Structure 1
């Protein structure tokens, strides 16, 4: 993710990388547990890698004020620990087999161990935030509440009469957007940035979070396993209702070809759940990837990213604002 250009921006990028390395070292320390039974699973997903988008965002928005210091790095670490913790829980809930190209934690240990590892990381994140003031504690608590509500709403599904697509977008906003928004807000808070910048960067963070997940829906259909770390259509085969699938279902009442494709997908998902070879859905995955609903999903992601950039209108023109705008563009430019 190239956020800076030009000689001055390259120096800025170098400084940002140095700060990220300090955050990474701190994360390693915060993930150290005296018990070897806890230590290995708690460190597992961090060692699997990750883009560290949330810490990077906290560092960037801190530069709207005094810039990164120990408190800013601590906030970035708390946000990343919260994110890592949520991944353990998500993978158990979704019965995921892979995460970041490696076996999901519960397939290495067990559901119970994975859940408890996630709980340990939530506890460490809360411990970090506890010394940062009441506002930070409340923000962390409200963010955690939204993470839980997002997972709950995803698990239960839309209620009778509720628009499934609006429900899905709200789930993405809660499960992903909320924490990215918190990452952005904490940078302003602890970098001593102007108070009037807090709400714009919060809105920006939530919108790029939704855009990120919508592009993930497109990437899920990609055949490039070496880049995505999973088989094309992994979510579709598992019965996850991503936006391309929801848009197809919306169209099925009007177009017979779409109704036929939807019926084949649903039948294949049922067969896979009963033990059939996941490869039986290969033609349907390819058809959905080529379908205009996938292009519509990309367009929806781009719209969310553009709205994120518009939210930055209150910020001064600067290398920080340009970097945030490029981050939004980079998120929707990702390819599988």
Structure 2
């Protein structure tokens, strides 16, 4: 299993301390994805071994620093729970999105087929449930609520907005459930089991809700602007599979006004056949050059600013500063 990539933290001593605990989380994660059945073991290790930034465990460990028991065993278990939940959701997401790559490697369904990928995701959810059970009833309730929101987010993304719904607002609600819910829970569980005050727990959870949406908006930009070795997936995958993203929704919104015929023409090409790589590349280039990409970045930046403002009640110091650098780094990826 590869070493996790961490985002920069404000204080070197804090960064070193958390890096050591991330290593412990990685050891527990390795155990959690191990199965006696060789097929299941290979498939369950597939995404864990492909790496990833381990953003959620990192946030759990950082939030725990707000209390007196940051090194508690329960904090490590909480970090494992959120990463297992995230990994499990990726197996399902990639099947639903027909994504060929994940973290620079073939998606599990490309290797073993949809049925195996879905069931391995279920098995990892089961392992997360078993781990969270050791943390007590409150953690189980939090995890259940998070899992419900993950499913609702995926469901609402699949069904799309209703006839009377605002498509952009619908999408933001999808992101809040599908992405931000687990990031908020990562911070909440870390603060809880790190011994932080109830006020601090709620503060970092609200912070997580904001940066979770900002993180996904940055990913929407990366799907258009980055190379595959940066984003870990084929550029334009979302376009080809007609997965909604903020730049495309903003473009559709503009095209509907009729103010610029070029917008409607680009939408028509987006809705056309993008199976040819050359056609996709040209549509990608035109969308990259459009103002909706800048607007998406600005929306992400505003959410990060709101998230940082929410941190005001926390005591000044390296932990608070690291929350700020954590948030900034998530959006800087798309700059």
TM-score, normalization by structure 2: 0.95
Matched, 1:218 2:204: no
2:266 counterpart residue number: 261
Residue of structure 2 equivalent to 1:108: 111
State how far apart, in whole Å, the 2-side matches of 1:215 and 1:124 are.
Answer: 30
How far did residue 259 of structure 1 move?
Answer: 1.0
Aligned counterparts of 1:33 and 1:231: Cα–Cα separation in 2: 30
User: Is residue 10 from structure 1 mapped to residue 15 from structure 2 by the alignment?
Assistant: no
SS in 2 for 1:313: coil
Provide the rounded CA distance (Å) in 1 between the counterparts of 2:317 and 2:66. Answer: 9
Structure 2 gaps, min length 5: 1-5
Could you say what the CA RMSD is over the residues aligned between the two structures, in angstroms? 1.3
Superposition pairs of residues 88-237 of structure 1, within 5 angstroms: 88-237=91-240
Q: Report the number of matched residues.
A: 327
Alignment correspondent of 1:28: 30
| Counterpart contact for 1:247–1:293, Cα < 8 Å | yes
Is the alpha carbon distance of 1:46 and 1:156 closer, same or farther for their aligned partners in structure 2, counting shifts above 3 Å? Answer: same
| Structure 1 stretches of at least 4 aligned residues deviating more than 3 Å after TM superposition | 1-5
Tell me by how many angstroms 1:223 deviates: 4.8
Partners of 2:151 and 2:101 lie apart in 1 by 22
Q: Give the 3-state SS of the residue equivalent to 2:88 in structure 1.
A: helix
| Alignment deviations for residues 251-285 of structure 1 (CA, whole Å, 9 cap, x no partner) | 01222111111112212xxx23xxx4232122221
Is the counterpart of residue 295 in structure 1 residue 300 in structure 2? no
C-alpha distance in 2 between matches for 1:313 and 1:62: 17
Preserved contact between residue 104 and residue 228 of structure 2 (Cα < 8 Å): no
Over residues 113-156 of structure 1, what are the superposed CA-to-partner deviations in whole Å (9 max), with x where a residue is unaligned? 00110011000000011121111010000000000000000011
The structure-2 alpha-carbon separation of the partners of 1:34 and 1:325, relative to structure 1 and needing over 3 Å to count, comes to same
Distance in 1 of aligned mates of 2:97 and 2:20:
35
Q: What is the TM-score when the length of structure 1 is the normalising length?
A: 0.95
Which residue in 2 is equivalent to 1:72?
Answer: 75
Look up the SS of the partner of 2:71 in the other structure.
Answer: coil
How far apart are the structure 1 equivalents of 2:139 and 2:226?
42
How big is the shift at 1:207? Answer: 0.9
- 2:108, 2:144 → 1: CA distance? 25
- Identify if the C-alpha distance between structure 1 residues 121 and 314 changes in structure 2 by more than 3 Å, giving closer, same or farther: same
**What is the rounded CA distance, in whole Å, between the counterparts of 1:214 and 1:335 in structure 2?**
9
Q: C-alpha deviations, 1:32-82, integer Å up to 9, x for none?
A: 111112111111100000000100101111110021221100011011000
Deviations 1:233-268 (A, max 9, x none): 22112212211110011001222111111112212x
Q: Deviations over 1:284-312 (max 9, x none)?
A: 21111011110000000001111111111
Greater CA drift, 47-56 or 230-239: 230-239
Q: Which runs of 5+ in 1 are unaligned?
A: none
